[in-house]
Amino acid sequence: MWATVTWAGLRDPEIAETIADLRRETVQTLLWVGGGGYVLWHYFSLLGLHTQPVGETTDEAILRRWALFALVIAALAGLHRLLGWRPALAVRVFPFVGALLVVGAMGLLQTPDPCFLLPN
């Protein structure tokens, strides 16, 4: 059954190495694009703090966004470091870190909007 699921060409070391490089470069590009997009979102969200929950002061909203900023930067830096150290592991961990960041953002910003992504 394993032979039917995998591509036989990946047994060739040159092709397997090329595929591993492509995966590593894809994750690296996604880290840079995601990081850049997040920094832009963070900047513009601090400019427009009109989206804060009712009853929350501007200082509390700013602290929440900076806590999220620290969380995201730490995760992206950790993934970037892991990508240089163990690329195959970084490729496998990348989607899970992204999901944890979404859940962390929902918790820190206390926004119910993306909660439909989680099971009841």
pLDDT of 74 over the 60 cut: yes
pTM for the model stands at 0.66
Q: What is the DSSP string of 57-116?
A: -HHHHHHHHHHHHHHHHHHHHHHHHHHHH-HHHHHHHHHHHHHHHHHHHHHHHT--GGGG
* pLDDT tens digits, one per residue of 14-65: 877 888 888 888 888 988 888 888 888 777 777 765 555 556 667 777 788 8
